[in-house]
Amino acid sequence: MSAIKSILIASSGNIVEWFDFFAYAFTAIYFAPAFFPSSNPTTQLLNTAGIFAAGFFMRPLGGWVFGRIADRQGRKTSMVLSVILMCVGSLIIACLPTYESIGLWAAALLLVARLLQGLSVGGEYGTSATYMSEVATEGRRGFYGSFHYATIIAGQLLAVMVIAVLQQVLSLDELKAWGWRIPFFIGAAGALVALVVRRSMVETRENNHGKDPESGTIRGVLAHPRALLIVLGFTAGGSLIFYTFTSYMQKYLVNSAHMDAKVASHVMTGVLFIFMCIQPLFGALSDRIGRRNSMLIYGLFFTFATVPLMTSIGAAQDAGTAFALALVALVGMSFYTSISGLVKAQMFPAQIRALAVGLPYAIANAMFGGTAEFVALSFKANGTESHFFWYVTLMGAVVFISALLMPDERKSDYLRARQ
């Protein structure tokens, strides 16, 4: 099977998984009152953000379970199981009764569904990143690898687009009453389609199906401490910055820049579409300048640009200004997102690769990415919103330091070693 076909097949499930996961973030504005009655909109959003964060804390378990399956039983098996689990989680949310019907049980069941989705996505990232990196051809791995994050963005973009359409055809009362359920039904149906498509996947030649005793073991991962710490550093900063300027940005535009919810959705739809389209360009650029240099540029950019960008976006007086500023942020982010999975996969041997990419990613993502909205809203509720900007700046510096410690891929690259 050609590299392009293999990547397209893997991408189908990746899009669905992330559509389902982000559907929660973008519908929270509408369903928050149904599960957390309160007269304060910020308090309602804090509650939904808390459950959003809880889903992230299942990711380390998902990264371990599905990473181990991928390294011992095959990438295909792991990716099929993860998309089934996402389907179940989305279907539960779509059918959930509200607080008015069953009281606190509504929030409890919402939490359960999010935990299932977190488990699924925790396994999806490492396995799909590993699979796409392994099927990519030498000399163009940055270009091919960029489709991994491009499909994550595509899932997020589709979630925004669905919300934008619903905002046009439904009234605000209808969205709050039942319209918010529609994206979750769509996600569950899409997961079934992805399941059928993924069953036609072929395993990469590097997967040894557990023949090596170190396959899929924590011990095997710990044998590479430098690479492990670098992945943790990249993910901690990368995840926080990504969720700040994507999923949280819609709430920031509404809650801090006082922009109409429909306008904010339109702004983010346009920005995310461009963001998705430029991923292959930045992936191809990394093939020319090197993955390490791309990561250095990324870390340096957000170390100095975060505070000015967030301050300016919060003070934006019109949609055009907000669009331009958000786009600047996501263009800078593309130095990282286009090679995120690849740069981690190339630092580990095949027999532990899925686990070594997925588990540390899930841990750092849970700690910093999953808590991004909650921390941002908490600072806002305390009247110190600008402190969050400096927190993001600090994590940009962490990425820069991690990139300085990263070995030159021309001298140390386990993916190249296979050739």
Instruction: Quickly state the pLDDT bin for 13 (edges 50, 70, 90).
Output: confident
pLDDT in tens, 242-265: 999 988 898 899 988 889 888 988
Mapped onto helix, strand or coil, the DSSP state of residue 146 is helix
pLDDT in tens, 214-237: 788 999 999 999 999 999 999 999
Rg (C-alpha) for the chain, rounded Å, is 20
pLDDT of residue 2: 66
Which residues 6+ apart lie within 8 Å of 275 measured at CB? 153, 327, 330, 331, 333, 334, 337
Q: Which two three-digit tokens encode residue 286?
A: 């990394």
Distance CA(175)–CA(171), nearest Å, equals 6
* Mean pLDDT of the chain, nearest integer: 87
Distance CA(2)–CA(61), nearest Å, equals 32
Phi, psi for 317 (deg, rounded to 5): -95, -15
Rounded to 10°, the helix 182-198/3-35 angle is 160
Q: Which domains does the chain have, with CATH numbers?
A: 3-417 (1.20.1250.20)
**pTM score, two decimals?**
0.84
Mean pLDDT of 27-31: 82
Classify residue 171 by burial, with Cβ atoms within 10 Å: 0-12, 13-18, 19+.
Answer: exposed
Distance CA(238)–CA(244), nearest Å, equals 10
Q: Which residue has the tokens 């595509």?
A: 154
pLDDT of residue 337: 95
Distances (CA, A) of 151 to 158, 275, 332: 10, 11, 18
Distance CA(25)–CA(157), nearest Å, equals 12
pLDDT in tens, 139-183: 788 998 898 888 888 988 888 789 889 988 999 889 988 999 999
Distance CA(107)–CA(385), nearest Å, equals 27
Q: How many residues does the chain have?
A: 419
Phi, psi for 38 (deg, rounded to 5): -170, 155
Does 204 have pLDDT greater than 80? Answer: no
Which residues 6+ apart lie within 8 Å of 2 measured at CB? none
pLDDT of residue 51: 76
Alpha helices in 36-104 (DSSP H): 41-56, 59-72, 75-95, 99-102
Instruction: Quickly state the pLDDT bin for 8 (edges 50, 70, 90).
Output: confident
Does 419 have pLDDT greater than 60? Answer: no
Does 408 have pLDDT greater than 80? Answer: no
CA–chain centroid gap for 298, Å, is 17
Distance CA(3)–CA(5), nearest Å, equals 6
Mean pLDDT of 105-113: 86
Q: Nearest Cα to 126, choosing from 23, 228, 19, 49?
A: 228
